[in-house]
Amino acid sequence: MIAIMIAGAVSALVSLLGTRFLIVYFQARGQGQPILVEDDRTLGLEHHMPKQGTPTMGGLAIIGAALIGWIVAHVRDLPFSDQAMIVWVGVLAMAAMGFADDWIKVRKRHNRGIFWKQKNYLTMLMSFGMAWWLVASTGISETISLTRAGDLGFDVPQFVWILWAGLLIWATTNAVNVTDGLDGLAGGSALMGFGAFTIIGYWAFRNPDIYEVVNPLDMGVLAAAFAGACLGFLWWNAAPARIFMGDVGALGIGSALAFSALTMNTHLLLVLICGINVVEAGSVAVQMAVFKASGRRRRLFRMSPIHHHFELGGWPETTVIIRFWLLAAVSVASALAIFIGDFTRIAAR
């Protein structure tokens, strides 16, 4: 428990100070987020134009602070696990992809990076590669589970598990990226998700006979480090944001959430833990399906992702953010209720 507290506290402090440094650094160099209202995909969001020039790539502080907090937490005789280090390679690789895209946007002063078409394919390949590495190098359970390994009895062949895990990483990464459209929305919802995984990791550590999790305490420490990093970042990212996390933060955070679910055998529970991200990404998919099915004449929402639909409906940005945070909190609480409820049922036997 002390290691978890150290990871959260250190990462929160480093993120708070590191984000402030990035704001000053990017402002001094005139490097900020380009926002172009140029076609029907952005029509109606002219009120976002004052945000143009706001420093971006704040996700560097989140990822860096989480890494520092995780490392510092190991000073109390907590061993570095192979599983957590593989997860870190995956998170850093995704964050690097996001950083490259962010950097190109800033340098070209355009709201699309050079990878805006290819990024999905590249992140998908990376996701499958990381899923293979996890299953080939660790004792991770090769089942599709809800709250613990084997709870649903979905034992699948290894190649099926790799496909499933890769799709889970890719989908979660992109869902968080889609959610990152309003000040503090993605960071606040991610904070709740990592908080839930911190509890799950520690619970699994305290009850090893029930949960077949490899290195649960180290994974709980990793989740706590990300929770603390998101907390420190939100001080500066809350509306009106003084910095955006950028793709470097969204892709890194999204992959970390997916890896947490995979390593803690809570694959299907991730749907609730990242409930608001599922809704956001789902709204984009539904919007595209309706638009194409209607011969490119109709749209279900005023604009997708769905947070823009409510903005165009007259909701102030802060109202959308807070209400979506509330929905995220309910969704995460429901996930924890299912997890604890299953534990109570097993423990009572």
The per-residue pLDDT for range 115-167, each reduced to its tens digit, is 556 778 889 999 999 999 999 988 888 899 999 887 787 788 999 999 999 99
Mean pLDDT score, 36-43? 49
Average per-residue pLDDT in the chain?
A: 89
pLDDT above 70 covers what percent of the chain? 91
Taking 60 as the threshold, does the pLDDT of residue 201 lie above it? yes
Q: What is the DSSP letter of 214?
A: S
Q: What is the DSSP letter of 79?
A: P
* Rg, Å, the chain Cα set: 20
Residues 6+ away with beta carbon under 8 Å from 20: 236
Taking 80 as the threshold, does the pLDDT of residue 322 lie above it? yes
Residue with tokens 């993605």: 186
| Top-confidence residue, 71 or 48 | 71
Cα separation, 189 vs 15, whole angstroms: 17
At 339 the pLDDT is: 95
Is the distance from CB of 44 to CB of 87 less than 8 angstroms? no
Q: Where are the beta strands (DSSP E) in the chain?
A: 143-144, 154-155
pTM over the 0.85 mark:
yes
Q: What is the DSSP letter of 51?
A: G
DSSP codes joined into one string, 133-194: HHHHHS----EE-SSSTTSS-EE--HHHHHHHHHHHHHHHHHHHHHHTTSTTHHHHHHHHHH
Q: What is the DSSP letter of 304?
A: S
Taking 70 as the threshold, does the pLDDT of residue 283 lie above it? yes
Taking 70 as the threshold, does the pLDDT of residue 46 lie above it? no
At 38 the pLDDT is: 47
The three-point CA angle 140-2-20 to 5° equals: 95
Neighbours of 76 (CB within 10 A): 9
At 292 the pLDDT is: 87
Taking 90 as the threshold, does the pLDDT of residue 1 lie above it? no
At 274 the pLDDT is: 96
Residues 6+ away with beta carbon under 8 Å from 179: 185, 186, 189, 250, 276, 277, 280, 281, 305, 307
Mean pLDDT score, 276-301? 89
Cα separation, 63 vs 73, whole angstroms: 16
Q: Which of 275, 292, 100 is nearest to 190 (CA)?
A: 275
Q: Which of 71-75, 127-131, 261-265, 291-295 has the lowest mean pLDDT?
A: 291-295
Cα separation, 55 vs 163, whole angstroms: 37
Cα separation, 311 vs 88, whole angstroms: 36
At 36 the pLDDT is: 55
Taking 70 as the threshold, does the pLDDT of residue 47 lie above it? no
Distance of CA 185 to the CA centre of its chain: 11
| Top-confidence residue, 316 or 152 | 316
Is the distance from CB of 146 to CB of 269 less than 8 angstroms? yes
Backbone angles phi, psi at 315, to 5 degrees: -75, 135
Residue with tokens 């899923």: 131
The per-residue pLDDT for range 216-265, each reduced to its tens digit, is 999 999 999 999 999 999 999 998 989 999 999 999 999 999 999 999 99
Backbone angles phi, psi at 291, to 5 degrees: -65, -45
CA dihedral sign of residues 305, 310, 315, 320: negative
C-alpha distance from residue 25 to each of 9, 18, 115, 243, 324 (Å): 24, 10, 25, 11, 31
Q: Where are the domains of the chain?
A: 2-347
* 3-state class (DSSP) for residue 198: helix
